[in-house]
Amino acid sequence: MEHAPPSITSMNKDQFWEIIDRTAVAASREEKLELFRRELQQLSLAELDAFELIFSDYFFETYNWDLWLVAWFATRGMCSDDGFHYLRLWLISRGRSVCEASLADPQTIAELIYSTKHPAFETFAYVLGEVHGQKIDQPPADTCRSHPKDPSRGDWLRPELKDRGRSHMLNLCVVFNELTDADFAVIQARFPRLWDFCLAKDIFKSGDQAESPRAREFPTPEEIAATIDPNLVETDIVAYLKAFQEAAEKAYKKKE
């Protein structure tokens, strides 16, 4: 059965954030998911469709180079394309003040990302589809809305780094590994609070202050494994990551 598209009065941003903020106080992620599910189940189909549209608006808007730069530094270089995807869901789940602060000035949330053990919340978005499916056997209203191909903002990033057409690597996060001393100088001037935060947390190598600090080398497999959900302790994550890294390097060399 066809249903009417959401009207502009069926849900507004204030109502959207009231729902999110009521779930943000949960003590655990499991409790937050359950509260979120209950909140959405109380909405009409038109309200749910409108909620999903606003959700995607914020999710798309957070897909920007400025926020990714902050996340990349604050996670010590461990914010891959998938990681940034899940981090943006986590930001929305934290509520209006956190999400809108990340859009107004991403530097302000560097400490929050840094101090959070797992700043990612992949399953938060699944609840939307689950509840929609319970209401009607039909895809959500925003199915035809495509995720932006490239991040927005990033006026500090050289055009040649934004253009990944010249690279065999599909992941955009490799951009951060190609930053030069000149790029870091631009970043320092553009994001002074982020720069000071990184120095205070020793995220940069602190050598001769006359030289531009360079970003820390990408973490070792052991360091990445230390961040894995403890429920996977029976899996030899270090061995898996090493094997994956070796396979990726071999495949990349064949394409060169």
- pLDDT tens track for 111-159: 999 999 899 999 999 999 899 888 876 555 544 578 898 999 999 999 9
My answer on whether 144 and 248 are in the same domain is: no
Which pair of tokens denotes residue 16? 């959207």
The CA angle 19-125-232, to the nearest 5 degrees, is 125
My answer on whether 174 and 246 are in the same domain is: no
My answer on whether 86 and 97 are in the same domain is: yes
For the chain, how long is the longest CA-to-CA vector?
68
My answer on whether 15 and 102 are in the same domain is: yes
My answer on whether 49 and 163 are in the same domain is: yes
My answer on whether 104 and 172 are in the same domain is: yes
Tens of pLDDT, residue by residue over 170-225, are 688 888 988 888 999 999 999 999 999 999 988 876 543 334 454 455 555 666 66
- Nearest Cα neighbor of 227 from 94, 99, 124, 80 is 80
My answer on whether 143 and 238 are in the same domain is: no
The per-residue pLDDT for 233 is 56
Q: Is pTM, for the whole model, over 0.75? A: yes
Q: Which domain holds residue 246?
A: 221-256
Q: What is the SS3 assignment for 119? A: coil
* Count of structural domains within the chain: 2
My answer on whether 132 and 237 are in the same domain is: no
Number of neighbouring beta carbons within 10 Å of residue 174: 15
The per-residue pLDDT for 1 is 40
Task: Give me the torsion for CA of 230, 177, 82, 161, rounded to 10°.
Answer: 170
CA atoms within 13 A on the CB side of 165: 4
The per-residue pLDDT for 2 is 43
CA distance linking residue 220 with residue 241, whole number of Å: 9
What 157-164 contacts at long range (C-beta under 8 Å, 24+ apart), as own/partner pairs, is 157/65, 157/183, 158/183, 162/65
Which pair of tokens denotes residue 249? 């390097």
Q: Which of 19-28, 35-44, 125-134, 209-218 has the lowest mean pLDDT?
A: 209-218
My answer on whether 116 and 243 are in the same domain is: no
